Chain A
Amino acid sequence: MDSRNSIDHHHHNDSISGVSSRWSLSSKDPPSEKSLSAIWDRSMLSMSQKEIKDEDARLVYINDAERTNERFDFTGNSIKTAKYSVFTFLPRNLFEQFHRVAYVYFLVIAVLNQLPQLAVFGRGASIMPLAFVLLVSAIKDAYEDFRRHRSDRVENNRLALVFEEGRFREKQWKYIRVGEVVKVVSNQTLPCDMVLLATSDPTGVVYVQTTNLDGESNLKTRYAKQETLQKAADLETFNGFIKCEKPNRNIYGGCELKNTEWALGVVVYAGGETKAMLNNSGAPSKRSRLETRMNLEIILLSLFLIALCTTAAATAAVWLRRHRDDLDTILFYRRKDYSERPGGKNHNYYGWGWEIFFTFFMAVIVYQIMIPISLYISMELVRIGQAYFMTRDDQMYDESSNSSFQCRALNINEDLGQIKYLFSDKTGTLTDNKMEFQSACIGGVDYSDWKSADSEHGGYSIEVDGNILKPKMRVRVDPELLELTKDGYATKEAKRANEFFLSLAACNTIVPIVTNTSDPNVKLVDYQGESPDEQALVYAAAAYGFLLIERTSGHIVINVRGEMQRYNVLGLHEFDSDRKRMSVILGCPDTVMDESYGDVIEETKKQLHAYSSDGLRTLVVGMRKLNDSEFEQWHSSFEAASTALIGRAGLLRKVAGNIETNLRIVGATAIEDKLQRGVPEAIESLRIAGIKVWVLTGDKQETAISIGFSSRLLTRNMRQIVINSNSLDSCRRSLEEANASIESNDESVALIIDGTSLIYVLDSDLEDVLFQVACKCSAILCCRVAPFQKAGIVALVKNRTSDMTLAIGDGANDVSMIQMADVGVGISGQEGRQAVMASDFAMGQFRFLVPLLLVHGHWNYQRMGYMILYNFYRNAVFVLILFWYVLFTCYTLTTAITEWSSVLYSVIYTSVPTIIIGILDKDLGRRTLLNHPQLYGVGQRGEGYSTTLFWYMMFDTIWQSAAIFFIPLFAYWGSTIDTSSLGDLWTIAAVVVVNLHLAMDIIRWNWITHAAIWGSIVAACICVIVIDVIPTLPGYWAIFEVTSTWMFWFCLLAIVVTSLLPRFAIKYLGEYYRPSDVRIAREAEKLGTFIEPQGTEIEMNQIGDPPRR
């Protein structure tokens, strides 16, 4: 047993008041890393101004807004989430858009083109692509901002009661000022951050719901200061001032008042300085691996571009040099302009050196699309489309929390297909975090036999003042134990049982809420609290007759089998994850305590071990009696600590630590943390997919291991290596031993390491050893991990490998890990939304990881990888066609293809199909991918995009561009063909070839795909026709003239077949003789040769599955 888990009960006969004795009750909760304490830090709001430095402080004069705002100009309460106004929209939106490198590239090219010497394209054609992109983005931004304006307006015009001129008057939110006193009534939302002055509750307690802030629906308690409670009764004369910190993120606002009639508060932070606004930061920004990887090829393409430009410039230089004496007489050059003066002046000629320079930059302008800038925009569109389908996937919809999949980060979709390491939280992620009271061990005796009594015991209820009170949730009870508690204090065992349940009912932060039911006589008691463990314990106590009825900051009322008992709460040490326990100090009648029990530590230890081996979460309950001097000593230090301004939390912890000693064991509880549906199957699938699963949990080793087995992370045939060391040396020794022992064979091994060992491992040279060991293990279980270690473990792996990491968790303690990993997934479950807020993707259940990674991840990766390669190819083909022509135009960058076609090529002619394919094409069906998780390896090995594929694509590009260019060149050599006609032929040939190339690689043809491919070709033809019916362009009517000859069609056919022939043949040879897994699976899918495994993997994804067990 863990000796730290103890509970205690103590007794004291006398006190100064003489009315009641004081005893303390504490229960400690080690296994969960959940915080039971509120985050609200009251230290900042002390009425007594002490330590805050003047320059850091803000002075708020209560009820005196004039004076408050006199010296400091605090922000008003009107909020503004909208970014733009009508006037600032244009400059500011443009400014923001040009933060993207792609747009700057566009802009630089467009500006270069405006120089008269470099003007390759006309004004319109050169600016159009940039203008188009800017316009689309601007419209999108404007629409979003319009919606924000609208919601701001609604928010700002809401009404609140503000104390003015002797009474409360309604005032719009936007006019509320710092220093004013606001009255909030039940179910109203707090308009801004306030310091609580008084509430309807005489003790000054108030319950708030922070759903708007962090999504947590549990009630949280806040307390008014005793001093203000009394004074606030007379608001007219009430004054004083608050000295507090400058705005930071620790103060609340925007939450909703619940269960309290009214509350008075003074405004300290308003408008943009409230917590809600300060916390309102956007989704995290990460870059996808594929995109980073792609940059290498972008650099290669840039070099290629420079090479082309240099070639053009150099050849032009040679020609000019060779003909330097003839330039005036060459009919098609004619350097001199004689129209102004007789001798003539050079027209558009600046000397040999400058001409080379200009040629180079003109070449950059002409070949600009070699760097596929449009790719970045296409990628964004594709990701939006992919995200749409991911969120719409009804196999990732969680019924119980009514949440569908959320894509919070829009730029790492394809990373989901390359995950190699998975770090998972346990509680709330693998398990439901719905706690169920399973067993109790009281005085060393285990009570867990509820089966026999299940049906007849319909739940506990009690009649109070003619009303029947019932706990909202029923808990199975052990009849023997129930009988025992009914004996009251008759026997030792009974006494202990009563103490046990009294402790459970008292030592928590649960708020009981009595709600009406359809039957006016029956009322339900609902226990609201931040910790599901506490809820389970209180419900359990209620089932055994200890019904918690009321809790205020000063006292609790417990109905013990019909008898109302009131206990003064003298102090409460909230749970924290360092102490891993909580305690409460109660004053109570001195009849009950008895010190004469025997010691039950050994028996309890044994029982605890048994519980945790079953995967249950255990708590130990203990109590102790405080005598006068102990109490006084504690009381004074507690008071001092709770009013301390600096390091209050630490001081309180110390006080708690001092009093939480010498506890007498009463018993222990066991709570089952149920596995989520489909978790074992999901983990198995992920493991087969080659993903290394690390489970990080705060649980004890036994609990962790047993959860490991039940979730199939561990299997019986695995060898377990347990690292459980207390010092650096022993840690090193065991790790090295482990490392050596696995090297000898390749059995499957599981590594279990605990938080203490990790303290020595993290940030030391042992990290490397651990990583080596972990690489050889098929499962890793880290238990007793502190929240801060989680990120450390992720970093340990992330820094040592280029493989992708994914972290999944549901609680605030997982935030660091989620942000550290390449991909962070948040479970939107029981524990609030901090994890979701920090995550890139959020979903309802752990098992959705399987469709997310294996299906969507795989698809997204394959699609994106192909799309990048295709876009490189598509643009390079076009650039090369332009380049080849330069060799036949005296190296002068004439383009036969019209400038409008050059511009529209990547915007209209070829862009839609690649985007559609990037969103819709599926290389394999969902069923196949789920049945054969091994197919996920494609992404892990990076087979969808690699430098080899890039070069293969580039050689193909050269061949295809050559075929497109040279076939008509030779066919029309020495003929009457004019520039425009040949240009039109090249344009159409390029569009057809490029689209057919894509068509050849499409795996699934549905009507959308057909429409996109054939539609693009038709659209391109229409555009070419439209361009050619403008009589003021040189190419007037060329398309009609050229298509009326047979030559055109013969060339086109020859081009299409010749350019795609090598690719077709090689594709076939590769796919048939060296098939990839995907290809085989595709054949099998089509021909039905897969033997469907008796697949649990499929089953788990069916929607109407009955719950396990």
Chain B
Amino acid sequence: MSSGGGGSSEPSGVKKTSKRPKYSRFTQQELPACKPILTPSWVILTFLVAGVVFIPLGVICLFASQGVVEIVDRYDTDCVPESSRANKVAYIQSEGNKMCNRTITVTKTMKHPIYVYYQLENYYQNHRRYVKSRNDAQLRSPREENDVQTCAPEDNVAGHPIVPCGLVAWSLFNDTYQFSRNSEKLPVNKKDISWKSDRDSKFGKNVYPKNFQSGAPIGGGTLDPKKPLSEQEDLIVWMRTAALPIFRKLYGKIETDLNAGDTIMVLLENNYNTYSFNGEKKLVLSTTSWLGGRNDFLGVAYLTVGSICLFLAVTFSVLYLVKPRQLGDPSYLSWNRSPGG
């Protein structure tokens, strides 16, 4: 920087490659961007819209739920004879006739199809030991028949692999229901009660039950060794382990309408042992809506959240009118409020 020309910074003939970063909006972090900020009007509008959408949705959900007719009949205790009620486990484990008659009164007309479920309570089909005790490869292909090591303690009988192996299959639910109205039989359609995908790809068409329920103790239902697994729909339904300790599983469908005041006789075979862990068994007849079964929770939840949104919209509006703040007013900045700070 001396006066006159020829300072030392003069490039001495050698052309240096500039290391100047190439300019682009990306490298300078100046990409075009939208910068939304929460202004009162936007927030109030958002809550308003949420409220206006949620309340009708809640009403729709409630309507759907209310439209479902559901009959629940708990029978686990009632189907044990008075004399055996002191030791239900002994009763259920004993041999002999365990038939039981139940009478159900239809309170409201039920349009077909009417779904027949069994509902188990206090039954942990999601217990870690239980859900792990299965082998999905074995269900699918006869070649994997011997792949049973994850299935213990129901892996093999006298050295022969069990198909289907594992606790889940072993504990297959085996109460049966027969329905009649005015001594006229009501047929129960047990076809297509399972997922189509399960029948098609998950359970093999050439996998047949082997050594199933052949050793002691017996956990539940037996399977017809002549039918491939893909046709054993009760098993397929059962193998979709329930997520929650209170669950229903589809037993079948009644394809006729039931009228209000109809009395349905149920002939019930009480085989399944839930007594050893105070599990409850219920028979459920239910129609469905587009939203599923009868459950008001979602409707109530939508109504609640919608009301809260509306309430907040109103509150924020009032707050805004009572105590507005000039957006982006520099005088609110901390160093402008307290000079020198």
Residues of A within 8 A of B (CB): 323, 326, 329-334, 336-339, 344, 347-348, 389, 391-394, 397, 399-400, 402-404, 432, 434, 436, 454, 458-459, 472-476, 539, 674, 746, 888-890, 892-894, 896, 920, 922, 926, 932, 934, 937, 967, 969-983, 1003-1009, 1031-1034, 1036-1037, 1040-1041, 1045-1047, 1050-1051, 1053-1054, 1057-1058, 1061, 1064-1065, 1067-1068, 1071-1073, 1075, 1077, 1080-1087, 1089-1091, 1107
Contact = CB atoms under 8 A, between A and B. Distances in A.
Given A922-B29, A934-B333, A1004-B33, A1036 B327 contact: no
B328 A1086 contact: yes
B3 interface: yes
Contact of A347 (B16, B152, B220, B333): B152
B71 to A, nearest CB: 14
B242 A976 contact: yes
Contacts of A333: 127, 129-130
Nearest to B274: A331
A1072 B4 contact: no
B2 A1005 contact: no
Given A393-B21, A402-B19, A978-B242, A1089 B292 contact: no
> Which 10 A-B pairs rank lowest in CB-CB distance, beginning with the nearest?
A337-B153, A1083-B328, A892-B128, A1037-B197, A1084-B328, A1004-B33, A392-B27, A332-B130, A982-B243, A329-B276
A348 B152 contact: yes
B202 A323 contact: no
A974 B248 contact: yes
Contacts of A972: 243-244, 295
Contacts of B9: 400
B297 A970 contact: yes
B32 interface: yes
B96 interface: no
B242 to A, nearest CB: 6
A979 B244 CA distance: 8
A433 to B, nearest CB: 11
Contact of A890 (B2, B241, B245, B305): B245
A1034 B241 contact: yes
25 contacts: A326-B277, A332-B167, A333-B127, A334-B129, A339-B215, A344-B153, A393-B21, A394-B28, A402-B18, A472-B6, A473-B2, A474-B5, A475-B3, A894-B127, A937-B334, A975-B292, A976-B248, A977-B243, A978-B241, A1036-B201, A1037-B195, A1041-B197, A1051-B298, A1054-B305, A1080-B328
A1058 B305 contact: yes
Contacts of A473: 2, 6-8
A878 B199 CA distance: 33
Given A389-B29, A978-B242, A1075 B276 contact: no
A1073 B156 CA distance: 69
B212 to A, nearest CB: 13
B276 A399 contact: no
Contacts of B244: 888, 969, 972-974, 977, 982
A1047 B330 contact: no
Given A973-B244, A974-B248, A979-B131, A391 B312 contact: no
A1081 B335 CA distance: 12
Interface stretch (B103-111, B116-124, B226-234, B261-269): B116-124
B46 to A, nearest CB: 8
B270 interface: no
Contacts of A475: 2-3
Interface string B107-149: 0000000000101000111111111001011001000000000
B308 interface: yes
A932 to B, nearest CB: 8
A1034 B136 contact: yes
A868 B134 CA distance: 41
Contacts of B330: 1080, 1084, 1089-1091
A1054 B27 contact: no
Contacts, number: 321
Interface string B59-93: 00100000000000000000000000000010000
B201 A436 contact: no
B35 A1086 contact: yes
Contacts of B175: none
Contacts of B57: 1050, 1053
B298 A971 contact: yes
B59 to A, nearest CB: 13
Interface in B158-211: 158, 167, 170-171, 195, 197-198, 201-202
A497 to B, nearest CB: 21
B305 A1057 contact: yes
Contacts of B309: 1057, 1061
Contacts of A1082: 35, 37, 328
Contact of B29 (A331, A920, A1107): A920
A799 to B, nearest CB: 27
Interface residues of B, number: 112
B166 to A, nearest CB: 10
A698 to B, nearest CB: 22
B33 A896 contact: no
B292 A323 contact: no
Given A1005-B34, A1077-B335, 17 more contacts: A332-B125, A336-B153, A339-B155, A400-B9, A893-B128, A894-B128, A896-B126, A926-B29, A932-B333, A974-B247, A980-B240, A1031-B202, A1036-B201, A1046-B292, A1054-B301, A1082-B328, A1085-B35
A1082 B39 CA distance: 12
A227 B169 CA distance: 99
Contact of B50 (A975, A1057, A1089): A1057
A42 B93 CA distance: 101
B100 interface: no
A338 B215 contact: yes
Interface string B291-319: 11101011001100100110010001001
B4 A392 contact: no
Nearest to B282: A974
B329 interface: yes
B249 interface: yes
Nearest to B220: A331
B3 A474 contact: yes
B21 A1045 contact: no
A746 B131 CA distance: 73
A1061 B305 contact: yes
B2 A332 contact: no
B87 to A, nearest CB: 13
Given A975-B247, A1005-B33, A1071 B38 contact: yes
